[in-house]
């Protein structure tokens, strides 16, 4: 053994690697990790001390299970630690601002307290979320076409983080506000289309930001954030048409602790499936960059048809209220499609490699499928409790099964047959269409036990 090799061997042994041993999971935690864990546990203890009288046994179990989950997530992906701390601080600030000198909370202070009125009441925070997601999408796209592309993409990423923060603050404060309206009104804000679209926006954006961080590329954001902006557009329209931002009591069918688990798990699936589809679209754009024959540019034409038909889907409500909104939506959509079509060469040069797009698409579908499976099982258990049977072939249940089978087949072909490339991308896009119909189309066109979510 020469001197250099001997020295390297000694250094490896000093580092604990000479015997093949790695530091344990907990040994790899630093002081910030443990401080974060302490803050989460302290917050959980405070929540239990203040609100345990209002919680049943199931809700207490959910709280206990949430604490190690949040700690693990903060350790797994460290940006989440700052997100959790900032959201908690702003939410507590909003709650404090609602308090009156005489004791108790006064929701009317949302119109008089400066910070509540303009920033951190639930409605103000969600409106800020909406604007910032639009701005984030715009900056990501500016990054595609300017020399300072990296700077614009960085701004888009930072705005997405702030939007996620305010979405979560709005959600937490809305939860608190609902409990102040009346003892039977308070509920976790995942009970109607307005609330779940907020959930979809921040959850989809957060998953995208994770992939952005892991793959060290922000070029995917232009496509991933398009679907978030589309959801924000629907959210704003729905708010105007239905005044959906008003907090309403839960209908009897939703007065169950199962809702707290089933709905968020579902939307992990919806969000990650949407990311996979948008990156599949980016994959096809990159693939068709050198194509000049119009009939070969199928992905762009399909996107144009989908965007143009969407106002027709909401035609009845458009005639009653907000019709001009959908005309503007149509115009913006047409400009987006035309811009992508005209600039596909530039866009393709900015996108990451086919391998990265394919890998993120696969991982997003894998995570979404796992959570969608959990959500389907939880839904069956909820149905057994509410309606006396695990499965009733209700339209919503039937289409949830179709979604599940679609992605099960996609993953099977990927893992067993090595599915890659164009077919996988097209399949992911079709999957988004199926998922969208299961989520919204069933509510619009079909009736059943889940009709409480109709438009």
Task: Give a yes or no: residue 21 inside a domain.
Answer: no
The CA distances from residue 159 to 20, 65, 130, 197, in Å, are: 43, 31, 11, 19
pLDDT at 449: 57
CB-count exposure of residue 403 (10 Å: 0-12, 13-18, 19+): buried
pLDDT at 95: 95
**Could you give the count of Cα atoms lying within 13 Å of 63 in the half-sphere of its Cβ?**
20
Task: Give a yes or no: residue 81 inside a domain.
Answer: yes
Task: Give a yes or no: residue 1 inside a domain.
Answer: no
pLDDT at 385: 84
Task: Give a yes or no: residue 115 inside a domain.
Answer: yes
pLDDT at 383: 85
pLDDT at 308: 57
CA 374 from chain centre, in angstroms, equals 17
Task: Give a yes or no: residue 438 inside a domain.
Answer: yes
pTM of the model: 0.90
Task: Give a yes or no: residue 2 inside a domain.
Answer: no
Range of the domain at 435: 29-453
Task: Give a yes or no: residue 5 inside a domain.
Answer: no
Tokens of 233: 């557009």
Task: Give a yes or no: residue 259 inside a domain.
Answer: yes
How many separate domains does the chain show? 1
Sequence length of the chain is: 455
Helix-strand-coil split of the chain, %, nearest 5? 80, 0, 20
DSSP H stretches of helix in 79-148: 79-98, 114-115, 122-145
**Could you give the count of Cα atoms lying within 13 Å of 288 in the half-sphere of its Cβ?**
23
pLDDT at 302: 66
Judge whether 313 and 387 are in contact, CB under 8 Å.
no
- pLDDT means over runs of 10, the chain (455 residues): 45 44 82 96 93 82 92 96 96 95 89 95 97 97 91 97 98 94 85 93 98 96 94 89 84 82 94 96 86 63 61 51 66 76 87 96 97 94 83 86 96 94 92 88 66 55
């Amino acid at each position: 053994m020469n001197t250099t090799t001997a020295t390297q061997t000694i250094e490896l042994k000093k580092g604990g690697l000479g015997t093949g041993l790695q530091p344990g999971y907990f040994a790899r935690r630093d002081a910030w990790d443990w401080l974060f864990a302490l803050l989460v546990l302290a917050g959980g203890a405070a929540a239990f001390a203040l609100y345990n009288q209002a919680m049943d046994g199931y809700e207490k179990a959910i709280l206990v299970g949430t604490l190690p989950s949040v700690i693990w997530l903060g350790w797994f992906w460290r940006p989440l630690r700052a997100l959790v701390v900032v959201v908690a601080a702003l939410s507590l600030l909003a709650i404090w601002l609602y308090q009156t000198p005489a004791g108790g909370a006064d929701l009317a202070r949302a119109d008089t307290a400066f910070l509540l009125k303009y920033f951190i009441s639930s409605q103000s925070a969600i409106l800020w979320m909406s604007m910032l997601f639009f701005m984030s999408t715009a900056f990501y796209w500016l990054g595609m076409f300017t020399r300072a592309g990296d700077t614009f993409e960085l701004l888009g990423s930072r705005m997405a983080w702030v939007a996620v923060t305010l979405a979560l603050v709005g959600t937490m404060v809305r939860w608190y506000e609902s409990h102040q309206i009346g003892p039977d009104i308070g509920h976790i804000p995942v009970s109607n289309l307005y609330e779940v679209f907020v959930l979809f926006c921040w959850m989809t954006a957060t998953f995208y930001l994770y992939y952005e961080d892991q793959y060290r590329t922000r070029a995917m954001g232009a496509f991933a954030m398009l679907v978030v902006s589309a959801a924000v557009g629907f959210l704003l329209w729905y708010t105007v048409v239905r005044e959906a931002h008003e907090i309403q009591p839960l209908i009897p069918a939703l007065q169950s602790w199962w809702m707290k688990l089933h709905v968020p798990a579902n939307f992990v699936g919806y969000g990650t499936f949407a990311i996979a589809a948008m990156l599949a679209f980016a994959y096809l754009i990159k693939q068709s960059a050198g194509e000049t024959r119009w009939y070969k540019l199928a992905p762009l034409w399909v996107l144009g048809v989908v965007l143009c038909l969407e106002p027709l889907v909401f035609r009845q409500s458009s005639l009653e209220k907000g019709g001009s909104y959908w005309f503007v939506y149509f115009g913006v959509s047409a400009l987006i499609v035309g811009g992508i079509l005209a600039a596909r060469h530039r866009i393709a040069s900015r996108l990451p490699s086919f391998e990265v797009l394919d890998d993120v698409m696969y991982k997003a579908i894998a995570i979404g499928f796992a959570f969608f499976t959990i959500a389907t099982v939880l839904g069956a258990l909820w149905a057994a409790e509410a309606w006396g049977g695990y499965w009733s072939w209700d339209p919503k249940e039937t289409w949830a099964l179709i979604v599940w089978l679609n992605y099960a087949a996609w993953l099977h072909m990927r893992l067993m047959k090595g599915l890659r490339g164009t077919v996988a991308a097209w399949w992911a896009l079709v999957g988004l269409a199926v998922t969208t119909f299961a989520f919204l189309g069933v509510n619009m066109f079909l009736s059943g036990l889940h009709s409480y979510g109709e438009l």
